[in-house]
């Protein structure tokens, strides 16, 4: 049984479906709401009949969303009146959503991805680039709430690598080794089954929570999982689970950007091979460089220069050739710093 309050808004949900921007690649279909930037995701389970099944609850796109935390204040992207919303698709087929306010700009980019060995796309990455456009340093974090669906067909809604099937609330945090969380359904491709990536090509969440959707939705940010609770909250929300990915607040200087990548796919083991090939480690290069339009700030630029040097040291210490993405990150940062140097 789905959330009663959402069913009460069925007419609104039907009206919203007319505003979706649709993109397809391989076996994945993405629908993004033009007005809110929120999305639905589908997997092609029957190629001959062109039959898709949802990987997330799709009767109401408002139930899956991101919350931005800026200086201890939470903003639900798609609802917060402080942000103007723009949705577009670029020449490469990527869907882009921009949430712009006077203090922060969030750029959300959807890209189709394929697991190693897959003949076509079987997932998406969602990159959140959060730029501090204010004049002061801000503490910025992100929570992504996923209204899961397929696992609700069974008593245990999820399966975790470290804990097995989950029939109650659970938190993964600290030094957890899991590289995915799945809905407890078919993993052979015969039916849609969501897999949330917790390592490369995604950014590792500081905390992953599995809990009742309404309990997570009613919490603007902080939440404590209770292993004695199942995924029902009587009388409002019955057998209704969700996952929340937390990227803890961190300082971001004026003009700098924090990036977070969320990975969602059909449940396949190919991404395990991807992580193994990468050494099951996050990317070595992670530099928050001032944007091209950021005001000149010697201290911010010096910090970026130091970050470049530390990244180079880390690459040398790793004892392996840097990847294309890592080289591009370094080159982009160096070009930007060189351009800014000429303005002093």
| Maximal CA-CA distance, the chain | 63
For residue 16, is pLDDT > 60?
no
Handedness of CA 297, 340, 285, 203 (dihedral sign): positive
Q: How far is CA 342 from the centre of its chain?
A: 36
Distance of alpha carbon 252 from alpha carbon 68, whole angstroms: 13
Contacts of 114 (CB under 8 A, 6+ apart): 26, 120, 121, 122, 123
Distance of alpha carbon 335 from alpha carbon 186, whole angstroms: 47
Taking CA atoms, 292 is separated from 85, 256, 310, 331, 337, in Å, by 22, 10, 22, 14, 9
Confidence of residue 19 (pLDDT cuts 50, 70, 90): low
Instruction: Report pLDDT for 303.
Output: 67
Instruction: Report pLDDT for 289.
Output: 58
Residue with more model confidence, 236 or 151:
236
Confidence of residue 299 (pLDDT cuts 50, 70, 90): low
Q: Which parts of 177-231 are beta strand (E)?
A: 180-183, 194-197, 207-212
pLDDT tens track for 118-169:
888 999 999 999 999 999 999 999 999 999 887 666 677 888 888 888 888 9
Token pair listed for 174: 């600290």
Q: Mean pLDDT throughout 105-126?
A: 91
Distance of alpha carbon 294 from alpha carbon 35, whole angstroms: 28
- Where along the chain do its domains lie? 4-277, 298-341
Beta partners for 40? 31
What architecture (CATH level 2) is domain 4-277? Distorted Sandwich (2.70)
**pTM summary value:** 0.76
Q: What is the mean pLDDT of the chain?
A: 83
Q: Mean pLDDT throughout 243-248?
A: 96
- Count Cα atoms within 13 angstroms, Cβ side, for 120: 10
DSSP 100: E
Q: Mean pLDDT throughout 18-41?
A: 90
Q: Mean pLDDT throughout 304-325?
A: 68
Confidence of residue 242 (pLDDT cuts 50, 70, 90): very high
Confidence of residue 46 (pLDDT cuts 50, 70, 90): confident
Instruction: Report pLDDT for 32.
Output: 96
Residues in the chain: 344
């Amino acid at each position: 049984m789905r959330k009663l309050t959402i069913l009460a808004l069925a007419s609104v949900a039907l009206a919203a479906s007319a505003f979706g921007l649709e993109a397809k690649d391989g076996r994945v279909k993405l629908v993004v709401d033009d007005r809110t930037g929120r999305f639905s995701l589908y997997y092609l389970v029957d190629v001959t009949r062109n039959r898709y099944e949802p990987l997330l609850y799709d009767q109401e796109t408002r139930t899956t969303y991101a919350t931005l935390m800026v200086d201890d204040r939470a903003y639900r992207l798609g609802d917060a009146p402080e942000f103007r919303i723009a949705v577009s698709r670029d020449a490469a087929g990527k869907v882009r959503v921009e949430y712009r306010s006077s203090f922060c700009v969030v750029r959300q980019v959807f890209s189709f991805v394929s697991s190693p060995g897959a003949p076509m796309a079987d997932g998406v990455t969602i990159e959140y680039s959060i730029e501090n456009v204010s004049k002061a340093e801000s503490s910025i974090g992100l929570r992504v709430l996923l209204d899961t669906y397929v696992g609700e067909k069974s008593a245990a809604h999820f399966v975790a690598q470290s804990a097995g099937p989950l029939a109650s609330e659970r938190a993964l945090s600290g030094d957890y080794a899991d590289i995915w969380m799945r809905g407890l359904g078919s993993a052979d491709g015969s039916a849609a089954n969501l897999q949330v990536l917790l390592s490369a090509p995604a950014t590792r969440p500081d905390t992953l929570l599995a809990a009742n959707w309404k309990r997570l939705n009613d919490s603007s940010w902080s939440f404590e999982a209770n292993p004695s609770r199942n995924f029902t909250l009587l009388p409002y929300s019955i057998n209704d689970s969700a996952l929340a990915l937390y990227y803890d607040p961190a300082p971001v200087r004026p003009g700098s950007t924090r990036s977070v990548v969320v990975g969602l796919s059909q449940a396949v083991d190919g991404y395990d091979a991807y992580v193994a090939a990468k050494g099951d480690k996050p990317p070595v290069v992670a530099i928050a460089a001032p944007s091209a339009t950021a005001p000149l700030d010697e201290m911010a630029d010096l910090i970026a220069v130091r970050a470049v040097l530390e990244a180079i040291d880390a690459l040398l210490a790793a004892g392996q050739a840097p990847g294309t993405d890592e080289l591009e990150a370094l080159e982009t940062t160096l070009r930007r710093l060189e351009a800014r140097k000429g303005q002093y």
